[in-house]
Amino acid sequence: MILGVFGGSILCLVLALFFWLPSRTLVHDLRADGVTVVATVIGVDDQPRYVRVRFAQGPRSSAEEELWDYAGMLPDVHSGDSLTVTYDPDDPSHVLPHIWVIDPPTNLPAYAAFTLAALFLAGALVGAVRRRLLLTHSPPPEPA
């Protein structure tokens, strides 16, 4: 059981890294090499599962791309809205709202998974210490 709880901790840690690393890497890359331009929102899904923008200026003027989500979130915009975005010139499909590149939103899924990993790890440690204490302080069995 203790190994199962420890395994849950490792699984939650991997899940947290899965949520955290791609978002941080994208923001870091866009901060280093990104091009900031004004874009017009041309399509928004009802869910929203995607936000499609058309660049209004710069070398990729009139090109269309979908915004990448950040931790499963997309900005609250409507068709026709103007939005300042930052994109990677080497891979123009990597597009985020400029404000999210400057100050990324809270990555709640990653924080929740890190918290669960810590709780599972604490449970495994408490279980291991308790088991050790029970085994060292219990009286030896009576010979038959």
Peptide bond into 92 cis (omega under 30): no
For 130-143, the pLDDT digits (tens) are 988 888 887 777 77
pLDDT confidence of 45, banded at 50, 70, 90? confident
For 51-74, the pLDDT digits (tens) are 999 998 877 777 889 888 888 888
Q: What is d(CA 107, CA 26) in angstroms, rounded to the nearest whole number?
A: 13
Q: What is the DSSP string of 91-105?
A: STT-EEEHHHHHSPP
pLDDT value of residue 36: 92
Tell me 4's DSSP state: H
Structure tokens at 18: 């899965």
Task: Give start and end residues of each alpha helix (H) in 34-107.
Answer: 98-102
For 15-44, the pLDDT digits (tens) are 999 988 988 999 999 999 999 999 999 988
pTM of the model: 0.74
Cβ contacts of residue 51 below 8 Å, gap of 6+? Answer: 41, 43, 44, 45, 66, 67, 74, 75, 77
For 73-128, the pLDDT digits (tens) are 888 888 899 999 999 989 888 999 999 999 988 888 899 999 999 999 999 999 99
* Residue 137 burial (CB count, 10 A): 7
